[in-house]
Amino acid sequence: MHGIARGLSVVVGTSGALGAAEAGGHAFLHGLLFGALFSLVVPLVCLWWWWRQTRGRSALDRQPDAAVEVPAFAPRSGTPPAVVARRRHETTERTTEVLIRQGLPAARLGSWEHDLARNRITWSEHIHEIFGRLAETMPATFEELMAIVHPDDRASLVQRAKRLGETGIPVGSELRVVWPDGSIHWQATRAELERDAQGQPLRVTGIAMDITERKHIEDELRQSQRLLSVGFDAAHIGAWEWDQRSGRMTWSGQVEAIFGLAPGTFSGTFEGYLALIHPGDLTTVQSAIERAMAEGGGFQVEHRVTAADGSIRWLAGRGDVLRGSDETFTGMAGVVLDVTNRRLAEQELRDSEGRYRAVITAMHEGVVVHRPDGRIIDANRSAAEILGLSLDQLVTRDNADPRWSMVHEDGSPFTVDEFPNVIAQRSGKPQHHTTMGVHRPDGTTRWLSVNADPLLSLGGGTPLGAVVTYSDITDRLHHERAMRDSEERLRSLAEHNPNTISMVDRTGTILYVNRTYPGIEINQVLGTNVRDYIQSETLGPYLVALERVFTGGSSGEVELQVRTPTGETIWFLSSLGPLRSGGRIIAAVVTSIDITERRRDLEERRRFQSERETMFERMPIGCILWTRERRISYANPAAEQIFGFAADGMNGHGPDLLNFEEGMPEVSSYFERIEKGDMGLVAEMNNRKADGSEVHCEWHPTPLFTATGELTGVITMVMDISERSSLEEQLRQSQKMEAVGRLAGGIAHDFNNLLTAIMGYGELLETRIPSTDQASGYVQQIKKAARRAAALTYQLLAFSRKQVLQAQLLVVGDVITDLEPMLRRLIGEHITLKTDMEQASWQVLADAGQLEQVVMNLVVNARDAMPTGGSLTITTRNRHLDADMVRAYAEVPPGDYVMMTVSDTGEGMEDNVKKRIFEPFFTTKPEGKGTGLGLAVVFGVVRQSGGFIFVDSVPTKGSRFDVLLPRADKAPEPFRHRDSTAQLAIRGSETILLVEDDEGVRGLARDTLEASGYTVLAVSNGQEAIEISEHYPKPIELLLTDVVMPGLGGREVAEQVKRKRPAIRVLFMSGYTDDLVLTHGVADGTAAFIEKPFAAPKLLGRIRKLLSGQV
């Protein structure tokens, strides 16, 4: 057992040491915690130790002690005693092993064994849990064990192992191990060395216990003790404990300082403590302690002590009874605090209150103290005498007492809420110099000057009451009122005078002034000299006039330039006259009129007149000045030239001189806006010239105001824009025609392909029907209609379309799908077009032609934004917009919509451009490159269709246009796109390579040529044409190719075919305008070209001429 106790001391010894080191409540908590731990661990360790001593040896290997007898209750069946002893031992060993296996994990305790010869470590069953590892990952060697020990503890572990090997004395230690998750855990270990029969080290056995939680508690306890100690020191509080059994008192060092003792000089006994108490307080202290011991409670007492230096200190002590487990009295513990300063302050306060009481009693002013509810709780005799009451009568009253009769200076009664003490308590702020009239009980009225201050505690907060002081000012008030009335009359005369009135003495010192400059108080001016303000240029005349006042009593007038203390210069017209008293002149009275504005206006008029004569007279733009009565006061030569009136002939006339009668209401509205301060008005109107003719002018009016905001007139700049307006109209028309031409060019190719097929097949059909057949007439009508359509195509290329189309029910996606081939040619091959149409799209009610125009305008706009190429996407979606969703779209009511989105990856727009994007004629393109009408037309069409359009754009990121069209309820009508033309002729036998991407035109051309005897190699794109040219074994006499095709265009195909077959003739065909064909490098005068739509004879004739060498 001695060995077990020694082994266990390693596990729990640290807690004992810590418990001894702690004091007071910390020691008790520590002992309680580790006492419980000790009660759990001891039996488990004892069982483990016994099991270690006996394991591996069976009962048969051990001979029982000869002195041991079989107990009387042993079986009498003849079983040998050795067998009985062995069975009992085995049963006990199994039971013990079960207890150890179940108990050690619960206590987070385990054993281990290190075989020194093999350097192998064997661990008990559950010990891996306190290492945070799986059993199979536990270290098997000493080196592996060292790897999981905290680096700071490895050296200490090695030293203990070395000491164990050298001395054989069991060693214990506390160390940290690192768990696989990186966390740090504390362990307490105990190790013993076993030797073999020769005394050589055989193995090391030991136990390990997880003490992480204990370590954390120890750290917290130490921290709490430090904080408590620091708090006691900071508060100058000492702690003590008296053990009644030993008679000893233990106290902190702060207690000695509080008692005025040198450190270490306290005797440590209860009697020594009592000896330090002042004799006058000893009985009180002893009685309090005895009462606490008898009643089992605590005590609290204040007493004096005599310090070593003879000074008297006041201490406040508090103690509580300590009892043992059997509830018997064992002593007391408590704290002590030095309250000397507080007691001295309290005494000083009492002395001060006595002094203040004597002072207040002797005061002539009345002093009254109110409680928070308004009741008077104290007052001096002067207060009672002033109010005409006895002191007893006064102290019994409160604010609501109906006997009070207080009035304002105007005779109106004071309400309770107006009492100064009530206001002071409510606001927490002093109330000074309140004048109150008091009707006293004897019928007289006295006037008081009242001051009220809130009574606040040291910490502030709600006032505890109010102190009111008042003086009797009845006589003074009567005198002041008489003086004030007299002064008020004089002051009123001066202050209501709009001019500055001052009095100066002979030296120029200012004695009085009725007003001063903004930001300057009158007191700042009084006593100063006029020389400090009057500029030197006008000071001389002023001093001369001042001297005449004092020497001859004569009056004078002078203009003065004055500089104010703020640096401002003011002009005055000053009149000086004498002020007499007792027959002598005592001052000069100076009345000054501010003429600064008048002089400034005069100078301004002179300057303006000069500048106007220079600027307005030479200005190339007309300038007309109007008075606020709307009369012409000035017109410059440019205005004379515009209107043909002489300037003098316009002066004094109203706007009817320059305007026709029908335009006068508009002119009047412009004047009203201008007079209200509209600074941004620009107006265009037709005006009248002197000869009665019309001139179109642009007006830029600006209202003119004084410094006070009063309208003085209007200045207008006017320009004759008749010629500019005419040019702008011509330019707009030109640009519109250019835009229509571009649009027509975009659709001409597909349109003319259709017309080519219609006309061509019509002529083929005509050759196969006898002229006598009725169907021949039908064919003639088809041809006639096709020719008319072709004529319309040419007109479309030459003129702006101005047709009125009817709205119909349609699906937006169908319109876009029909337009898609044309759109691809419109945007060019450098731009990728993507479409994504809603499969089950709702229908809308719209004009198909207008909708086409919307799509094409948006596509053209996107194309122009991507000059170097990019991506263009068109999508349609069904959208239901509820009340929440429409917030993203201004002015859109909730409902069902079809949304068409056109987005590009082009240059994008700045915000200032985006705001104006739908304005007519607004464009960011260079002059001559755009009309600015495209998106304005889009906006108008969409809104006419009951829809909405929104734009979102980011510079360099592209633009997106969302068109919302309201859903219609009827089934859609089939959409019909516009169609186009073709023709026929002469025979031949050559081979022709035909390249045409349009299937209808390609089939017509093939049938026409084959019917005329030609061998036709027909392909749909340029790449196929090049492959046939390279591999066809026979001669090919002619290449007949479309100009604009997906992939390779006609020019590229011709160039590559000619490299292989230099002698081949080439005939280009296209439905585009000449300009568009030229951009593809074809119609440059060096190649044969035929326009679509064409008739068969025209095509065959052109081919025949080309193959015959006639072209």
Q: Which tens digit of pLDDT belongs to each residue from 262-304? A: 777 777 787 878 888 899 898 998 888 888 888 877 888 998 9
CATH 3.30.450.20 is held by the domain 2-65+77-216 = yes
- Position with higher pLDDT, 657 vs 481: 657
pLDDT for res 927: 67
Mean pLDDT over residues 1026-1035, rounded?
Answer: 93
Residue 97 to residue 225: CA distance in whole angstroms: 43
Percentage of the chain lying above the pLDDT 70 cut: 80
From the options 3.30.1490.440, 3.20.20.70, 3.40.50.2300, 3.30.450.20, give the CATH code of 363-478: 3.30.450.20
In one-letter notation, the amino acid at residue 733 is Q
Q: Give the model's pLDDT for residue 1054.
A: 93
Q: Is pLDDT of 721 > 80?
A: yes
Pairing of strands 1065-1070, 1015-1019: unpaired
Length of the chain, in residues? 1111
Instruction: Tell me the mean pLDDT in the region 490-498.
Output: 68
What pLDDT digit, counting tens, does each position of 396-409 carry? Answer: 788 878 888 889 98
Percent pLDDT > 90 in the chain is 22
Give CATH 3.30.450.20 domain extents, the chain.
2-65+77-216, 235-344, 363-478, 497-594, 599-720
State the pLDDT at residue 25.
38
C-alpha separations of 1067 from 798, 1087, 1106 in Å: 26, 7, 8
DSSP one-letter code for 1072: S
Pairing state of beta strands 807-810 and 843-847?
A: antiparallel
At 58 the pLDDT is 36
**Cβ-count burial 135-168 (b if 16+ within 10 Å, e if not):** eeebbeebeebeebbeeebeeebeebbeebeeee
pLDDT per residue as tens digits for the range 583-619: 889 899 998 888 888 888 888 878 877 776 777 788 8
Chosen CATH of 497-594 out of 3.50.50.60, 3.30.450.20, 3.30.1300.10, 3.10.180.10 = 3.30.450.20
User: What pLDDT is stored for residue 493 in this prediction?
Assistant: 67
Could you give the CA distance from residue 344 to residue 823 in angstroms, rounded to a whole number?
103
> What was the pLDDT predicted at 784?
77
Of 53-57, 572-576, 797-801, the range with the highest mean pLDDT is 572-576
Q: If pLDDT is split at 50, 70 and 90, which confidence band does 812 have?
A: very high
Fold (topology level) of 722-802+980-1111: Rossmann fold (3.40.50)
pLDDT over 70 (residue 181): yes
Sheet holding 991-995, edge to edge: 1015-1019, 991-995, 1038-1042, 1065-1070, 1088-1091
- DSSP summary character for residue 918: T
The predicted structure's pLDDT at residue 833 = 93
First to last CA, the chain: 132
Identify whether the C-beta of residue 668 lies closer than 8 Å to the C-beta of residue 652.
no
Question: Angle at Cα 818 formed by Cα 812 and Cα 822, nearest 5°?
Answer: 120
pLDDT the model gives residue 154 = 92
What average pLDDT does the segment 753-781 reach? 78
CA quadruple 867, 873, 876, 880: dihedral sign? negative
What pLDDT is stored for residue 525 in this prediction? 82
**In this predicted structure, what is the pLDDT of residue 995?**
95
Q: Where are the alpha helices (DSSP H) in 107-186?
A: 142-148, 154-167
For 302, list phi and psi in degrees, rounded to 5: -110, 135
Is the pLDDT at 371 greater than 70? The verdict is yes
Structure confidence at residue 12 (pLDDT):
32
Overall fold of domain 235-344:
Beta-Lactamase (3.30.450)
Average pLDDT, the chain: 79
Query: Does residue 178 carry a pLDDT above 50?
Result: yes
pLDDT of 96: 54
CATH superfamily entry for domain 599-720: PAS domain (3.30.450.20)
909-963 pLDDT per residue, tens:
998 888 778 776 677 777 656 656 677 778 877 887 888 888 899 998 999 999 9
pLDDT at 41: 42
At 1045 the pLDDT is 87
Residue 79 in this model has a pLDDT that exceeds 60: no
Per-residue confidence (pLDDT) for residue 1016, from 0 to 100: 94
CA torsion sign, 362 to 364 to 365 to 366? positive
Looking from the CA of 164 toward its CB, the CA atoms found within 13 Å total: 24
Tell which CATH architecture fits domain 812-971.
Answer: 2-Layer Sandwich (3.30)
| Mean pLDDT, residues 1015-1026 | 93
User: Exposed e or buried b for every residue in 1047-1073, given b needs 16+ CB within 10 A?
Assistant: ebbbbbbbebbeeebeebbbbbbbbbb
Give the C-alpha separation, 124 to 113, whole Å. Answer: 9
Range with top average pLDDT, 29-33, 39-43, 344-348: 344-348
Angle formed by the axes of helices 1096-1107 and 722-768, nearest 10°: 90
What are 849's two structure tokens?
């032609």
Low-confidence winner among 214-223, 438-447, 837-846, 1002-1011 (lowest mean pLDDT): 214-223
Q: Is the pLDDT of residue 816 over 90?
A: yes
The answer to whether 501 and 510 have CB atoms below 8 angstroms apart is: no
Euclidean distance between CA atoms 491 and 571, whole angstroms: 25
Cα maximum dimension of the chain = 166
pLDDT at 567 over 60: yes
* Residue 512 vs residue 83, higher pLDDT: 512
Parts of the chain belonging to CATH 3.40.50.2300 = 722-802+980-1111
Q: What is the per-residue DSSP string for 885-908?
A: GGGGSTTPPSEEEEEEEEEE-S--
